[in-house]
Structure formats: C-alpha cells, structure tokens
Amino acid sequence: MHMEEPTFDEFSPQSKADWIKLAEEPLSGRNEKPLETSTQEGIPLQPMYFREDVRNQNYCCLRHCKGWDIAQKVEFTDAKTFNTVAQDVLKRGQNAISLCEKDIKEAKQLDEAFENIDLKETALYFEPHINLELVKWFRKRGEGLKGAGGFDPIGMRGKGQIDQETIDLYLNFLAETLTSPQVATSEFKVIGIDCCQHRERGESAVEELASALATANEYFNSLSQRGIDLHSIAKQMHFFFGLGNHFFMELAKFRAFNLLWQRLLEEKKIPYLPPSIGALTLLDNETGPDLHMNILRGTTQAVSAILGGVNSLTILPFDTTPSSKELAERVARNIHLILRDECNFAQVADPAAGSYYLETLTSQLVEKVLNLK
C-alpha cells in the first residue's frame, strides 16, 4: 500500500497580523490593545511571537550541558559544628556549600571547618562581604579550590558601608592577592559581585544588569591601574544575582547577561570567558500566611535560573522558624535533586534557545541596558 508524504499545501500561509486579528476578535471593543501588557522594565509583551520578531538579533548561546552547583547554605556558628553539618549535607546530595564569611574571625577556623571535606570536589560559595582573614586563607589554600569568594569592596560602597579611602586599601590588598600563585592558578574566583542588593531594593532586571556591568567595569579599571592584566581580572569574577517572580524575565535576564558580558569583554579586548553566575531565591518573595506557597515560588525561581544557565544556585528554605528548620532545608535541597535527576535539566544544552518569545525578550533586555542613562 502506497502512502503519500503528508503536506500542508491545503493550508494557506498566515501572517502575524492575521493571527493577532483572530486572537483579538473575541475581545473586540474592550480596549485599544487588549492582549498587550508591559513589564516593570518597560518592555511590551505581545500575545504571540513569530520568526520575524527574531530576525537580525544577536543570539545567546549556552553551548554546554554543565549542570549547576547545589549550593545550599550552611550556618557558620563554630568550626566544629559547621564541619559536622557540612559533611552531612554533602552525603545528602549537595555538591557545594554556601556560607556567610562575616562569621569567620580567623583564617585557621576554616582549616578546622573543612577538615575531611574534599575541597577539590566540593565548591565553596561565600556570600558577598569583606573579610581579610578569608582572603588570607584563599592565598594559602587557593590551589585546587572551586567556587567563589564574596570579596566585593566596590559593591560595599554601593551599600554606603565604606568610604573611598577604605575601598582603595581593599583594592590594593585584592591586587596583591590576585598575583599570588595559589590564587592565580586556581578555579576559585575571589571577587564576588553582589547583584542581589539591587533585586532586594526592588530594582528592575535592567537596573540589576546595568549595575552588575558597571561594577565589573570598575574592577577592570581599578585593578588594571594596579598592574593586574584584564584577562586575569575577568577570570576572578563571580556574579551573585537575586531571583524575582517573573519567570520568563528572570530566565531572559541570565541569557541577556551572557550577551552583555561578551560585549564588555570585546570592548576591553579580552578573549572571551563565559561569565560565572550564582543565583539566590529571595526572602522578599515569600508569603507569610501560606508558607508552603514558598515551595512553589522557590521552585519556579530555581527553574528560571537553571534554564538561564547559572553556575550555582541557592534555594532558601520555605520556612525559617526553628521548629521547621530541618524539614525546610531538606525540601529546598530536594528541589535541586528533582530538577537535576528527575527533570534532567542538567542533561540539556541551552533548553531555552530558539524560543521566539525568550530570544525577543533577551534582545530587548540587552537593548534596554545599553541605552540606560
């Protein structure tokens, strides 16, 4: 029995205008543009997107299935307790640890804190702060470390916490650190640029991206004046971004940052290096009366970050009360494992690529950032 190849010849081609007209017919007379909405960034969202919307655009291309570091927080009260908890969570699926460096008083505490933990296999992410003791430890133990420090004196100035004279002293210390052999040859990134503060203040994705680039550019300028070559500076940067509730905007934000980072490196004539990005779900998105809604919020924020190609991800527990601490931390950790091992998000290279909507949103974000005054 012979079967002809199926064709769509009986269907006439339809233009974008035809489809929009068809979609608007049931809403006739309600308002001038019933299907168009706008974001906080001032980007108009269309009811549908077509191939013509993505012509002549620069595309973000995340080439590899790299997965992400499961960087759940471990509190640092004292070195011995931290070590016990850290070893336990690493057995339960984490492959990285996030901690706050402001609680570390002496570099020797870290040797005890990470005793019997393989730091060549376990990435460390220190929240943005300024801790000279921690940087001294990087100098001593930098070779073989993975992850990122949170040394961000320029970012601290943005919070109004230190003056320019103090920043200059910290930058001198940072320049010394970047030339030490243990740090220069390590995968660990000492500079941790705090972009979360912009999301916490309610700023838009455009302002968040622009601030990240401006801070990075200032590090390039300040450290190159101190004799550090630009490529070495770029290698040492990690960006900590906060996550909001607009799923597609957050996803597009990370894709846009890849393009903007590439543009910045081209301007500086630096060979391309992929940006190192960490993401954190934020407490200001949590809903008090129904805490379990925070599980859904945290999950959708996490998916947007993963599909956007982040290197590390921290999901805050859905409940911070002491009585629920253990359960909430386990749920947050298990969200990672479900997304990685059951949804297989770590096995797909750039799953968002090719979406007319996301490619357009990414391109519009880039344009907004470049035109921000």
In tens, the pLDDT along 300-320 reads: 999 999 999 999 999 999 988
For residue 245, give the 3-state DSSP assignment: coil
**What single string gives the DSSP state of each residue in 265-283?**
HHHTT----PPPEEEEE-G
Please name the residue that has the structure tokens 């490529």: 231
Res 373: pLDDT: 76
Give the E-state strand segments of 284-328 in sequence order.
312-314
Contact of 95 with 122, CB cutoff 8 Å? yes
pLDDT digits over 107-151, tens only?
888 899 999 999 999 999 998 877 788 888 888 887 789 999 889
CB atoms within 10 A of CB 139: 15
**Residue ranges of domains in the chain:** 69-370
Given this model, what pLDDT does residue 63 score?
A: 60
First to last CA, the chain: 68
Tokens 């590899």 belong to 64
Closest CA to 232 of 270, 274, 279: 270
What's the CA gap between 162 and 165, in Å, rounded? 8
Spatial CB neighbours of 130, under 8 Å, sequence gap ≥ 6? 151, 152, 153, 156, 162, 170
221 Cα distance to chain centroid:
23
| CB < 8 Å & 24+ apart, contacts of 346-350 | 346/65, 346/66, 346/67, 346/68, 347/65, 348/65, 349/62, 349/63, 349/64, 349/65, 350/61, 350/62, 350/63, 350/309
Distance (Å, whole) CA 38 – CA 18: 22
For residue 122, the SS3 value is coil
Q: CA quadruple 78, 79, 84, 90: dihedral positive or negative?
A: positive
Q: What is each CA distance from 211 to 140, 176, 203, 242, 276, in whole angstroms?
A: 32, 26, 10, 13, 16
Dist CA 118 CA 56 (whole Å): 47
Q: What's the CATH architecture for 69-370?
A: Alpha-Beta Barrel (3.20)
Q: Please, are residues 191 and 236 in contact by the beta-carbon 8 Å criterion?
A: yes
The predicted pLDDT at position 222 comes to 96
Q: How far is residue 295 CA from its own chain's centroid? A: 19
Question: Is the distance from CB of 277 to CB of 254 less than 8 angstroms?
Answer: yes
- pLDDT for 1 equals 56
Identify whether the C-beta of residue 43 lies closer than 8 Å to the C-beta of residue 346: no
Q: List the pLDDT tens digit at each of the 373 positions of the chain.
A: 566 777 777 777 788 888 888 887 887 766 556 677 889 999 999 888 888 888 777 767 676 667 899 999 998 888 899 999 999 999 999 999 999 877 777 888 889 999 999 999 999 999 887 778 888 888 888 778 999 988 999 988 866 667 888 889 999 999 999 998 888 888 899 999 999 888 878 889 999 999 999 999 999 999 999 999 999 999 999 999 999 889 999 999 999 999 999 999 999 999 999 999 999 998 655 556 678 889 999 999 999 999 999 999 999 999 888 888 899 999 999 999 999 999 999 988 888 888 999 999 999 999 999 998 7
Angle at 350 between CA 347 and CA 352, to 5 degrees: 120
